């Protein structure tokens, strides 16, 4: 009898150890979708809205610094005067990059040359800043305009 009780006690006492030692196997059914759980609620690196806001903030700061440097380099723009619109004068885009030269000035506009292409631009479209004559567009936009006019 003592042996029987001892064996029963031994089995009951070690049964939980045997249960913990067994592998659980794969759960049945589809893989659970944890994306809608709160498991990553406090993990800011996996939150797209926080990450996007951080990236956009960095881009915005870079853009602001670049724009400020350009404003310092180019200075404030004002409308160009008739005395500044002379043949041979270089024309810059709104970032200070040279895009064309003034070919001639007529009553109906200013003929602007870019390579072998020419286009007539209204005189009131020109501005002036520290760099000189300017058009308020990028070089790429001006090239597209000239290509469309040719």
Residue 112 included in any domain:
yes
pLDDT digits (tens, 9 = 90+) for 3-52: 655 555 555 555 555 555 555 555 567 776 666 666 555 555 555 676 67
Domain that holds residue 83: 79-149
Cβ within 8 Å of residue 112, ≥6 positions away: 91, 100, 101, 102, 103, 118, 119, 120, 121
Who wins on pLDDT, 115 or 39? 115
Domain CATH code at residue 90: 2.30.30.240
89, part of any domain? yes
pTM above 0.85, yes or no: no
Q: Is 121 helix (H, G, I), strand (E, B) or coil?
A: strand
**Calpha distance 50→47 (Å, rounded):** 5
CA distance readout (Å), 117 to 1, 95, 146: 113, 22, 7
Count up the domains in the chain and report the number.
1
Start-end of H helices in 1-150: 2-21, 48-74, 139-149
Mean pLDDT of 127-144: 92
Q: What's the confidence (pLDDT) of residue 140?
A: 92
């Amino acid at each position: 009898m003592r042996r029987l009780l001892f064996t029963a006690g031994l089995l009951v006492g070690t049964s939980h150890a045997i249960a913990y030692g067994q592998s659980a196997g794969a759960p049945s059914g589809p893989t659970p979708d944890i994306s809608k759980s709160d498991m990553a609620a406090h993990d800011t690196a996996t939150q797209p809205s926080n990450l996007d806001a951080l990236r956009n903030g960095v881009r915005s700061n870079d853009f602001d610094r670049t724009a400020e440097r350009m404003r310092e380099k180019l200075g404030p723009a004002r409308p160009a005067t008739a005395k500044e619109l002379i043949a041979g004068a270089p024309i810059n885009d709104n970032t200070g990059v040279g895009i064309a030269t003034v070919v001639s000035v007529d009553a109906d506009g200013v003929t602007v040359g870019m390579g072998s292409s020419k286009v007539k631009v209204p005189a009131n479209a020109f501005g002036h800043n520290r760099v000189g004559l300017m058009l308020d567009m990028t070089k790429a936009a001006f090239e597209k305009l000239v290509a469309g006019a040719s």
